[in-house]
């Protein structure tokens, strides 16, 4: 039982930390600016390994 709870806690911690990182990144860059940069990168540069559908 203890192992199961430990695993759940670890997964929860990873998810929470991931959300915090995204929030910090968005606050520093700006949500609208970040989305514009992502869209521009998709149209201008072809990412390696990832196929972009038009």
* Tokens describing residue 48: 């390696």
Q: Are 52 and 42 in contact (CB under 8 A)?
A: yes
Q: Is the dihedral of CA 41, 46, 47, 50 positive or negative?
A: positive
Tokens encoding 4:
């199961």
Predicted structure pTM score: 0.43
Question: What is the phi/psi pair of residue 50, to 5°?
Answer: -115, 125
Tens digit of pLDDT for each residue in 9-53?
999 999 999 999 888 877 777 666 666 776 776 555 555 555 555
Q: Which residue has the tokens 């929030």?
A: 23
Q: What is the domain partition of the chain in residue ranges?
A: 1-26
């Amino acid at each position: 039982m203890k192992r199961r709870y430990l695993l759940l806690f670890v997964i929860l911690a990873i998810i929470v930390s991931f959300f915090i990182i995204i929030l910090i990144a968005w606050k520093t860059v700006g949500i609208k600016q970040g989305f514009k940069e992502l869209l521009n990168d998709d149209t201008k540069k072809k990412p390696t390994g990832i196929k972009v559908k038009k």
